A and B are shown apart, each in its own frame.
Chain A
Amino acid sequence: MEKRFASIWFRYLTTDRHAVRRPDLRAVPFALAAPVHGRMVITEANAVAETQGVARGMVVADAMAFLPVLEVADERPGLAARLLHVLGLWCIRYTPIVAVQPPDGLILDISGCAHLWGGERRYLKDIVGRLRSRGFHVRMAIAGTIGAAWAVARFGRETPIVRSGEEANTLMALPPAALRLEPEVTAKLHKLGLRTIDSFMHMPPSVLRRRFGEDLPRRLRQALGREEEPIVPLRPIPPYVERLPCLEPIRTAAGVEIAIQRLLESLCKRLAGEGKGLRAASLMGHRIDGKVVQVGITTSRATASIPHLIKLFALKVPQIEPALGIELFVLEASGVEDADPVQEALWSSTAGLEDPALPELIDRLKGRAGIRAIYRYLPDEHHWPERSFREASSIVELPSTGWKSDRPRPTRLLPQPESIEVTAPIPDYPPMLFRYRGTAHPIKRADGPERIEREWWMDPGEHRDYYCVEDDQGRRYWLFRAGHYDDDSSRQWFLHGFFA
Chain B
Amino acid sequence: MVYVELQVTTNFSFLRGASHPDELVERAAALGCRAVAVTDRNSFAGIVRAHVAAEKHGIRLIPGCRLDLMDGPSLLAYPTNREAYGRLSRLLTKGNRRAEKGQCRLFKADVFEQREGMYFIAVPPDNLTAAFELEPDFVRHMTTYREALGSTFCLGAVRTYTGDDAKKLFRIHQLCTALDMPMVALNDVHYHVPERRELQDVLTCIREKCTIQTAGYRLHPNAERYLKPPDEMERLFRQYPEAIRNAAAIADACRFSLKELQYVYPEELVPQGRTPQEELTRLTWEGAGRRYPQGIPDNVRESITMELAFIAKKNYASYFLTVHDYVRFARSRGILCQGRGSAANSTVCYCLEITSVNPAEIRLLFARFMSDARDEPPDIDVDFEHERREEVIQYIYEKYTRDRAAIVATVTHVHARGAARDVGKAMGLSLDAVGRLAGTVSSHWDNYIDEQLLAEQGFNPRDPHLRKVLQLIDQYSGFPRQLGQHTGGFVITQGRLDELCPIINARMEDRTNLEWNKDDLEALGFLKVDVLGLGMLTCIRKAFDLAKQHYGRDLTLANVPQKESEVYEMICRADTLGVFQIESRAQMSMLPRLKPRDFYDLVIEVAIVRPGPIQGDMVHPYLRRRNNEEPVDYPSEEIREILEKTLGVPLFQEQAMEIAIVAAEFTAAQADELRRSMATFKAKGQVSAFHEKMVTGMVKKGYTEEFANRVFKQLEGFGSYGFPESHAASFALLVYISSWLKCFYPDIFAASLLNSQPMGFYQPAQIIIDARKHGIAVRPVDVNHSGWDHTLEGEFGVEHHALRLGFRQVKGLSEEDSERLVNGRGDGYTALPALVDAGVSLAAMERLADADAFRSMGFDRRQALWMVSALKDRPIALFAGQPSECTKEGQIALPLMTAGEHVVQDYASTGLSVKAHPVSFLREKLDLLRVTPTGRLSAMKDGMFVKVCGMITVRQRPGTAKGVLFVTIEDETGFANLVVWGLMFEKYRREILQSRLLLVTGKLQIEGEVIHVIVNHCTNLNGWLRGLATPEGVDAAGVFHKGRNFQ
Q: A193-B894, A404-B217 are in contact. Are A450 and B432 (CB under 8 A)?
A: no
- B221 at interface, CB cutoff 8 A: yes
Q: How far is the CA of A406 from the CA of B197 in the complex (A)?
A: 22
- B56 at interface, CB cutoff 8 A: no
Contact A405 B166 (CB under 8 A): no
Contact A451 B889 (CB under 8 A): no
- Out of B161, B885, B897, which one reaches A451, CB within 8 Å? B161
Shortest CB-to-CB span from A336 to chain B, Å, is 29
Shortest CB-to-CB span from A398 to chain B, Å, is 17
Chain B's closest residue to A74 (CB) is B431
- A112 at interface, CB cutoff 8 A: no
Counting chain B residues whose Cβ lies within 8 A of the other chain, the interface size class is: 35 or more
- B162 at interface, CB cutoff 8 A: yes
- Name 19 interchain pairs, CB-CB below 8 A, sorted by A: A52-B990, A53-B994, A65-B993, A72-B432, A74-B432, A188-B865, A190-B1034, A191-B861, A191-B905, A194-B894, A194-B895, A206-B889, A207-B886, A207-B889, A383-B217, A451-B222, A457-B428, A463-B222, A463-B223
- A465 at interface, CB cutoff 8 A: yes
Residues in A whose Cβ lies below 8 Å from that of B331:
none
Q: How far is the CA of A447 from the CA of B167 in the complex (A)?
A: 9
Contact A450 B163 (CB under 8 A): yes
- B869 at interface, CB cutoff 8 A: yes
Residues in A whose Cβ lies below 8 Å from that of B890:
204
Q: A67-B990, A187-B1034, A457-B212 are in contact. Are A466 and B163 (CB under 8 A)?
A: yes
Residues in B whose Cβ lies below 8 Å from that of A194:
894-895
Contact B1032 A383 (CB under 8 A): no
A 289-320 to B, binary, CB cutoff 8 A, 1 in contact else 0: 00000000000000000000000000000000
Q: How far is the CA of A407 from the CA of B865 in the complex (A)?
A: 76
Chain A's closest residue to B863 (CB) is A192
Q: A73-B432, A188-B869 are in contact. Are A408 and B163 (CB under 8 A)?
A: yes
Residues in A whose Cβ lies below 8 Å from that of B201:
456
Q: How far is the CA of A367 from the CA of B224 in the complex (A)?
A: 49
Chain A's closest residue to B126 (CB) is A406
Residues in A whose Cβ lies below 8 Å from that of B954:
none
Q: How far is the CA of A191 from the CA of B905 in the complex (A)?
A: 8
Chain B's closest residue to A455 (CB) is B212
Stretch at the interface among A195-203, A276-284, A323-331, A414-422: A195-203
Contact A195 B167 (CB under 8 A): no
Residues on B lying within 8 angstroms of A by beta carbon are 127-128, 130, 161-164, 166-167, 197-198, 201, 212-217, 219, 221-224, 427-428, 431-432, 435, 465, 468, 850, 861-862, 865-866, 869-870, 872-873, 885-886, 889-890, 892, 894-897, 905, 989-990, 992-994, 1030, 1032-1034
Q: How far is the CA of A423 from the CA of B872 in the complex (A)?
A: 96
Shortest CB-to-CB span from A208 to chain B, Å, is 10
Residues in A whose Cβ lies below 8 Å from that of B213:
457
Of listed A193, A207, A380, residue having the most chain B CB within 10 A: A193
Contact B885 A206 (CB under 8 A): yes
Of listed A74, A191, A194, A406, residue having the most chain B CB within 10 A: A191
Contact A190 B1033 (CB under 8 A): yes
Residues in B whose Cβ lies below 8 Å from that of A67:
989-990
- A449 at interface, CB cutoff 8 A: yes
Q: A72-B432, A405-B130, A465-B161 are in contact. Are A192 and B894 (CB under 8 A)?
A: yes
Q: How far is the CA of A452 from the CA of B163 in the complex (A)?
A: 10
Q: How far is the CA of A68 from the CA of B993 in the complex (A)?
A: 12
A 462-500 to B, binary, CB cutoff 8 A, 1 in contact else 0: 010110100000000000000000000000000000000
Contact B162 A407 (CB under 8 A): yes
Q: A383-B217, A450-B161, A452-B221 are in contact. Are A199 and B427 (CB under 8 A)?
A: no
Chain B's closest residue to A60 (CB) is B435
Q: How far is the CA of A383 from the CA of B163 in the complex (A)?
A: 13
Chain A's closest residue to B426 (CB) is A457
Q: A68-B989, A193-B897, A401-B216 are in contact. Are A452 and B869 (CB under 8 A)?
A: no
- Out of A72, A195, A450, which one reaches B1033, CB within 8 Å? A195
- Out of B163, B866, B873, which one reaches A192, CB within 8 Å? B866
Contact A196 B865 (CB under 8 A): no
Shortest CB-to-CB span from B188 to chain A, Å, is 14
Chain B's closest residue to A200 (CB) is B892
Contact B162 A450 (CB under 8 A): yes
Q: How far is the CA of A339 from the CA of B1016 in the complex (A)?
A: 70
- Could you list 7 further interchain pairs (A-B, Cβ under 8 angstroms) beyond the known A191-B861, A381-B217, A457-B465? A72-B435, A190-B1033, A193-B897, A210-B870, A210-B873, A450-B221, A457-B212
- A211 at interface, CB cutoff 8 A: yes
Q: A53-B990, A191-B905, A211-B866 are in contact. Are A407 and B163 (CB under 8 A)?
A: yes
Q: How far is the CA of A450 from the CA of B159 in the complex (A)?
A: 10
Contact B198 A456 (CB under 8 A): yes
Q: How far is the CA of A72 from the CA of B990 in the complex (A)?
A: 17
Shortest CB-to-CB span from A158 to chain B, Å, is 16
- A90 at interface, CB cutoff 8 A: no
Shortest CB-to-CB span from B714 to chain A, Å, is 31
Contact A66 B990 (CB under 8 A): yes
Q: How far is the CA of A193 from the CA of B897 in the complex (A)?
A: 8
- Out of A188, A199, A447, which one reaches B166, CB within 8 Å? A447
Residues in B whose Cβ lies below 8 Å from that of A405:
130
Contact B989 A449 (CB under 8 A): no
Of listed B167, B869, B870, residue having the most chain A CB within 10 A: B869
Q: How far is the CA of A397 from the CA of B191 in the complex (A)?
A: 40
Contact A175 B163 (CB under 8 A): no
Q: How far is the CA of A52 from the CA of B1020 in the complex (A)?
A: 11
Q: How far is the CA of A87 from the CA of B789 in the complex (A)?
A: 56
Chain B's closest residue to A448 (CB) is B163
Residues in B whose Cβ lies below 8 Å from that of A212:
869
Shortest CB-to-CB span from A53 to chain B, Å, is 5
Residues in B whose Cβ lies below 8 Å from that of A463:
222-223
Shortest CB-to-CB span from A484 to chain B, Å, is 11
Contact B872 A192 (CB under 8 A): no
Q: A408-B163, A450-B163 are in contact. Are A191 and B990 (CB under 8 A)?
A: no
User: In the complex, which residues 429-468 of chain A have their Cβ closer than 8 Å to any Cβ of chain B?
Assistant: 447-453, 456-457, 463, 465-466, 468
Contact A203 B892 (CB under 8 A): yes
Q: How far is the CA of A420 from the CA of B741 in the complex (A)?
A: 91
Residues in A whose Cβ lies below 8 Å from that of B222:
451-453, 463
Q: How far is the CA of A175 from the CA of B127 in the complex (A)?
A: 72
- Out of B214, B215, B870, B905, which one reaches A211, CB within 8 Å? B870
Chain A's closest residue to B164 (CB) is A447
Chain A's closest residue to B216 (CB) is A381
Shortest CB-to-CB span from A433 to chain B, Å, is 20
Q: How far is the CA of A381 from the CA of B427 in the complex (A)?
A: 17
What 6 A-B pairs come out closest when comparing CB atoms?
A381-B216, A450-B163, A451-B161, A66-B993, A193-B895, A211-B869
Shortest CB-to-CB span from A266 to chain B, Å, is 44
Shortest CB-to-CB span from B524 to chain A, Å, is 36
Q: How far is the CA of A62 from the CA of B994 in the complex (A)?
A: 9
Chain B's closest residue to A191 (CB) is B865
Shortest CB-to-CB span from B234 to chain A, Å, is 14
Q: How far is the CA of A52 from the CA of B213 in the complex (A)?
A: 39
User: In the complex, which residues 373-408 of chain A have their Cβ closer than 8 Å to any Cβ of chain B?
Assistant: 380-383, 401, 404-408
Contact B219 A449 (CB under 8 A): no
Chain A's closest residue to B223 (CB) is A453
Contact B163 A447 (CB under 8 A): yes
Chain B's closest residue to A65 (CB) is B993
Residues in A whose Cβ lies below 8 Å from that of B127:
406
Q: How far is the CA of A203 from the CA of B994 in the complex (A)?
A: 40
Contact A210 B432 (CB under 8 A): no
Q: How far is the CA of A468 from the CA of B866 in the complex (A)?
A: 88
Contact A66 B994 (CB under 8 A): yes
Residues in B whose Cβ lies below 8 Å from that of A68:
989
Q: How far is the CA of A348 from the CA of B894 in the complex (A)?
A: 84
Q: How far is the CA of A86 from the CA of B428 in the complex (A)?
A: 32
- Out of B427, B892, B905, B989, which one reaches A457, CB within 8 Å? B427
Contact A383 B431 (CB under 8 A): no
Residues in A whose Cβ lies below 8 Å from that of B219:
383
Shortest CB-to-CB span from B390 to chain A, Å, is 26
